[in-house]
Structure 1
Amino acid sequence: MPRLSTRTRLATVSALTALGALASLGTATAAEPTLNGEWAPFTRCPVDHPAMLAADGFDRTPQCVVSTSASGTIKLGDTTVVTGKTSLQMGVVQNADGTSSVVAPASGALVAEPATVPGGLLGLMCPSDIFVITGICESLENSSLNKITATMESVGTPYAFDQTAGALTDLPIVALPVRIHLENPLLGSKCYIGTAANPIVLRPENRDYPAFGMTFFQGDGTPDAAGEMSRIDLTGATQNDDTFAVPAATGCGLNIGLINAAVNAKTGLPSASGHNSLTLANTQTHLTGLNAPGTAAPDAGKVLAENWHSAAQ
């Protein structure tokens, strides 16, 4: 197989870089509100969603749930990445029959900080026996183009939420469909591990018991032992999932998959259940709602939304 000429390698890298730079120009996301007092963690609760507003407080009880972790790790096939802060927020409608329905914020249930992939592109796809990739690998030596970040994104509404599992160990708390966005100018703007049609589905479980706390507060977030709102805090637990499967990467390189094969071969994707894992350290989980069944019925959802908005500063 002939080697790429220097001219061809530079042309390939230049084209990919230009397209990657254009793809990186995105739109700014809306700033999250600052909420008063006990409402503070629930900045993205979808209180205005029709399903939340329709909750009557008898057959359907509305709640807001947030779970954050400052750090962790995720192993996908042969690659392990140290994660930054993750924030899962969602609305939950608890049904009288014991089931629940999850409502995702418009921005997606999960928001995560980008994580740096060890070794960058050189570690992710090099060396390679694909001659086009070999040329790119040689051009990446000591290049600022080598850095690559991975960001976990929601690609659907979470489901199978189990409030009781959040206080126990070794039980799935929620099913969370996600994809991993790999970002680097040479990868283009559509390089993902997982898709909306074929997501990675995470089912985190507590590996140790969280500390339990409960407070009461007024509708605007002011602490008050006689307030109409309650908040449950489950903090300090390590959460883990090693059951999920990981599909192959797609869309990597010129947005048409030029580099897919190299990325998948080097990282060991697709990867079956049992070969991947997620660990979230020191999770902080909070759940809030009206503090007694029937409170504000039949307008519990509307009252919850009014209270949330009254706490906005």
Structure 2
Amino acid sequence: MRPNRTRTRLATVSALTALGAFASLGTATAAGPALNGEWAPFTRCPVDAPAMLAADGFERTPQCVVSTSASGSIKLGDTVVTTGKTNLQIGVVQNADGTSTVVAPASGALVAEPATVPGGLLGLMCPSDIFVITGLCESLENSSLNKITATMESVGAPYAFDQTAGVLTDTPIVALPVRIHLENPLLGSKCYIGTAAHPIVLRPENRDFPAFGMSFFDGDGTVDPAGEMSRIDLTGAPQNDSTFAVPAASGCGLNIGLINAAVNAKTGLPSAAGSNSLTLENTQTSLTGLNAPGTAAPDAGKVLSENWHSANR
């Protein structure tokens, strides 16, 4: 592999480690087929998306990226939630001009289970000086209705993607618009912190450099030093962002917005930039693509797709 190609892949995969950090406030479960060998983590790579299939291997080089995070925490206003495992899978088309195009799976790049919010509704909106909310707070004592879960969802494509920042520290890697879905019978099904129109925009930065590993394998995932595929693994890079603003909660409970007001008052929302933070203690990121994509031109995208499908056990 040529050195400049190695550096490009390293930059891309480092940058993408950040994305998995914000997939959810819970434990991820990555659906998809069981894949052989070195393909195993890439269960949802969008290899059949038009942009991936159209990648020729010269002007546009297709790759698959998976990023998971083990633990961390996020502070939104006055509320802190511990994060669990997350799973992000995307396709990346490396363009000859040095830019990258992110391709998400049709079902969405982020897959995660919700996390339980400490204190439940009692912690989220009680006590309150709003009369109706006060009555709800009293009824929640020792009630199963107190439990509330939160899931972070992507609400638009990532942007401002900086490959170079992926191998640096203290430089924003990508802008990721998200919202947080709060779920509880009393909150209803449309209670969110942030919306598609006014999302939380996360801009993660590496705080240290990840450990680097590389392997080669055949199209079906079998390890082979002379294989046509390569895989880069980056592990252990801590990341942080304390620059994002958090909008007010909306859509919570009663149409007249009383629960919105209680949630926002108790949690300190909206919260200006500088008052919020996300810390990711650990990341595990892998990137794979054709070892020498030029040899598969102009069908690099199609070859990548065929290889992925051949690894489907």
User: Which band: TM-score by shorter chain?
Assistant: 0.7 to 0.9
The question of whether the paired residues in 2 share the 8 Å contact of 1:109 and 1:157 is answered with: no
Q: Match for 1:278: what amino acid? A: L
Q: C-alpha separation between the residues in 2 aligned to 1:280 and 1:44?
A: 23
**1:86: which partner in 2?**
86
The question of whether the paired residues in 2 share the 8 Å contact of 1:90 and 1:105 is answered with: yes
**2:238: which partner in 1?**
238
Q: C-alpha separation between the residues in 2 aligned to 1:172 and 1:311?
A: 35
The question of whether the paired residues in 1 share the 8 Å contact of 2:62 and 2:94 is answered with: yes
The question of whether the paired residues in 2 share the 8 Å contact of 1:84 and 1:114 is answered with: no
SS in structure 1 of the partner of residue 162 of structure 2: coil
Matched, 1:204 2:200: no
Instruction: Report the TM-score, using the length of structure 2 for normalisation.
Output: 0.87
Matched, 1:263 2:263: yes
Q: CA deviation at 1:118?
A: 1.3
Question: What root-mean-square deviation, in Å, do the aligned CA atoms of Structure 1 and Structure 2 show?
Answer: 1.6
**2:122: which partner in 1?**
122
SS in structure 2 of the partner of residue 189 of structure 1: strand
Matched, 1:180 2:197: no
Q: CA deviation at 1:126?
A: 0.7
**2:280: which partner in 1?**
280
Report how many residues are paired: 285
Q: Show the 5 A alignment for 1:53-132.
A: 53-132=53-132
Q: Deviations over 1:171-218 (max 9, x none)?
A: 222222111010111100110111111111112222111101111111
Q: Deviations over 1:79-123 (max 9, x none)?
A: 000011111211111110111111111222222331211111011
Query: Which structure has the greater CA radius of gyration?
Result: 1
The question of whether the paired residues in 1 share the 8 Å contact of 2:62 and 2:92 is answered with: yes
The question of whether the paired residues in 2 share the 8 Å contact of 1:83 and 1:113 is answered with: no
Q: CA deviation at 1:254?
A: 4.1
Instruction: Report the TM-score, using the length of structure 1 for normalisation.
Output: 0.87
Runs of 4+ aligned structure 1 residues displaced above 4 Å come to none
Q: C-alpha separation between the residues in 1 aligned to 2:188 and 2:34?
A: 35
Q: C-alpha separation between the residues in 1 aligned to 2:65 and 2:30?
A: 20
Q: C-alpha separation between the residues in 1 aligned to 2:256 and 2:154?
A: 22
Q: Deviations over 1:235-274 (max 9, x none)?
A: 0111111111111111000466441010011101111111
Q: Show the 5 A alignment for 1:154-193.
A: 154-193=154-193
The question of whether the paired residues in 2 share the 8 Å contact of 1:190 and 1:255 is answered with: no
List alignment gaps of at least 5 residues for structure 1. Answer: 1-28
Q: CA deviation at 1:287?
A: 0.9
Q: C-alpha separation between the residues in 2 aligned to 1:79 and 1:71?
A: 17
Q: C-alpha separation between the residues in 2 aligned to 1:169 and 1:279?
A: 14
192 and 37 in structure 1: CA distance in 2 versus 1, 3 angstrom threshold: same
Q: Match for 2:297: what amino acid? A: A
Q: C-alpha separation between the residues in 1 aligned to 2:198 and 2:136?
A: 29
Q: C-alpha separation between the residues in 1 aligned to 2:136 and 2:303?
A: 58
Q: Match for 2:267: what amino acid? A: T
Q: C-alpha separation between the residues in 2 aligned to 1:88 and 1:240?
A: 17
The question of whether the paired residues in 1 share the 8 Å contact of 2:73 and 2:82 is answered with: yes
Matched, 1:147 2:147: yes
Q: Deviations over 1:21-69 (max 9, x none)?
A: xxxxxxxx99411111111111111111101111111111111111101
